Chain A
């Protein structure tokens, strides 16, 4: 396959355009999508770029269909992907469930918007619970929360690899601000940076003659007995736990001597980091922690980070979604938890600094 990017290339682009280029560079074969703001331009750029590289696209009748056609493409051994947001992410929980159950390496790019319902088309961080634990299962998914355009590029490439290696549905979750803003970043050929692309292989429609070269494949997705499903889920959970230390990612800074640690994710973590720097410059011992994978959650790292601190300040553009994950993962640690929770709106460093000072009183 010819390289999509020769070497490295510095660009100034929107996050959606970056996502389309990253999918190309990651060797994605086909995209299935349905229009919803703020992810539309992932499709717009993909439909312009894909034919140049022999890749395909189908605009489906709804997100349910986009998700299930993606599942079909994956079973047939193609690197299929989709992108969605908000109510589309709600509808896609059904096909994500099939991907979880059948261990399909589905990759979805999520650009969060306001909710519930149609909410806004602009921005929010309210799809955390939905993306990590949506569906009638156990949340056997990998969810990356990106904070910059560079990360959208990096994690889309990594996301395809992780999905095809571990066979759990994988999500690269940004938001409307990241989707629509332009930012400087560097696109690169993964091979030039030593990133090997995990090859795709079919699980159905195999080569060879049935009864001569091979047996047929029967993929089961509904079980007659409770115990059959129990066994499947036990194995799934064991695989997930085994994978966790290999994929979990976070960023922790200034935590060793911190009195209060600011915990945030995604684009808000940029304000979180700025706030901690401002506070440090003012002589306040603030710490910074950012889960990059929201699922699996960096539990060990967070528990280690808070060892010497007294309080945790959770900052998010949602009411109680990151906070719920943080509390669950810090269960039985004696800590005071406060939140700066602003669903549907952005958060800047000054607000975090002010809240921090209030909280330490």
Chain B
């Protein structure tokens, strides 16, 4: 490269922690995109210094020093109660619970359900990649019927293991007025960022529980190339997991 040519720096959100970049997620992983949407939303809302980010165990644990935001690492499935404890103790903080589908829909499902029912004023961002990535690709609550994982080597059989969890639909059904619930996808970055921003705004306004599921990709454990990865996300996952808003608070016009 000649000295005259300017070096093009990747555009990172201000609220990204620069010293741990490039990050540790697998090549092609969707977490980076979800965290970019979150980072930009934090920047635009100007909440970098009053946000508290909590990450679960699973691939999401790698986000523990991803953001230039006060962050804590919890246990598998326990990020929601830790964030509830912080929010209840210090309501002025903006608490963000970051987890995978196993953490939010399996081992920590009681916390998701009860935080939603109590309308806890926290924001949950749940990344759905249809499997347990960190532990090597086992069946998750969100694994699609017929999908091959390490614990469903012949494909997920709904007769034996039920159908995939539809999280936002469940949360929207049980959360009361004031909750915000949406499902975005890393295939539509602008929309996903909009959902995350609205979820944070909902917490800032103190209206209620806010929950965003992000459809994501796991080429490492899916054993897919770029084309097949994207096809699985856009064609297969969205058939079962519709993208959109499921619950939006009625906001009175001033």
Q: Determine if A39 is an interface residue (Cβ-Cβ < 8 Å).
A: no
Q: Determine if B85 is an interface residue (Cβ-Cβ < 8 Å).
A: yes
B88 and A73 form a contact (CB under 8 A) = yes
- Interface residue from A76, A95, A206, A209 paired with B86 (Cβ < 8 Å): A76
Centre residue among B61, B88, B89 by max chain A CB count within 10 A: B89
Residues of B within 8 Å of A72, CB to CB, are 54, 81-89
Residues of B within 8 Å of A110, CB to CB, are none
- Interface residue from A71, A202, A209 paired with B85 (Cβ < 8 Å): A71
A60-B114, A68-B85 are contacts. A205–B90 as well, Cβ < 8 Å?
yes
- Interface residue from B71, B88, B113 paired with A217 (Cβ < 8 Å): B71
B90 and A211 form a contact (CB under 8 A) = no
For the side of the interface on A, what is the size category?
35 or more
Q: Determine if B207 is an interface residue (Cβ-Cβ < 8 Å).
A: no
Q: Determine if A58 is an interface residue (Cβ-Cβ < 8 Å).
A: yes
Contact with A along B31-69 (1 / 0, CB 8 A): 000000000000000001110101001000100110111
Give the secondary structure class of B's interface. mixed
Q: B122 CB to closest chain A CB, in angstroms?
A: 10
Q: Determine if A356 is an interface residue (Cβ-Cβ < 8 Å).
A: no
Q: B46 CB to closest chain A CB, in angstroms?
A: 10
Residues of A within 8 Å of B67, CB to CB, are 216
Stretch in A1-9, A219-227, A271-279, A331-339 touching the partner? A219-227
Q: Determine if A80 is an interface residue (Cβ-Cβ < 8 Å).
A: yes
B88 and A68 form a contact (CB under 8 A) = no
| Docked CA distance A13–B70 (Å) | 43
- Interface residue from B64, B81, B87 paired with A60 (Cβ < 8 Å): B81
Q: A84 CB to closest chain B CB, in angstroms?
A: 15
B85 and A69 form a contact (CB under 8 A) = yes
Residues A79-134 near B (CB distance < 8 A)? 80, 94-95, 97-98, 102
Residues B67-101 near A (CB distance < 8 A)? 67-75, 78, 81-90, 93
| Docked CA distance A281–B122 (Å) | 65
Q: Determine if B156 is an interface residue (Cβ-Cβ < 8 Å).
A: no
B69 and A68 form a contact (CB under 8 A) = no
Q: Determine if B183 is an interface residue (Cβ-Cβ < 8 Å).
A: no
A65-B110, A65-B111 are contacts. A58–B88 as well, Cβ < 8 Å?
yes
Contact with B along A45-64 (1 / 0, CB 8 A): 00000000000101011101
Q: Determine if B232 is an interface residue (Cβ-Cβ < 8 Å).
A: no
Centre residue among B52, B69, B86, B93 by max chain A CB count within 10 A: B86
Please, could you name 11 A-B residue pairs with CB atoms under 8 Å apart, sorted by A?
Answer: A30-B88, A64-B78, A72-B81, A72-B83, A72-B86, A73-B85, A210-B48, A210-B68, A216-B17, A216-B69, A222-B57
Please give the residue numbers on chain A whose beta carbons come within 8 Å of chain B beta carbons, in ascending order.
29-30, 32, 56, 58, 60-62, 64-65, 68-78, 80, 94-95, 97-98, 102, 202, 204-206, 208-211, 216-222
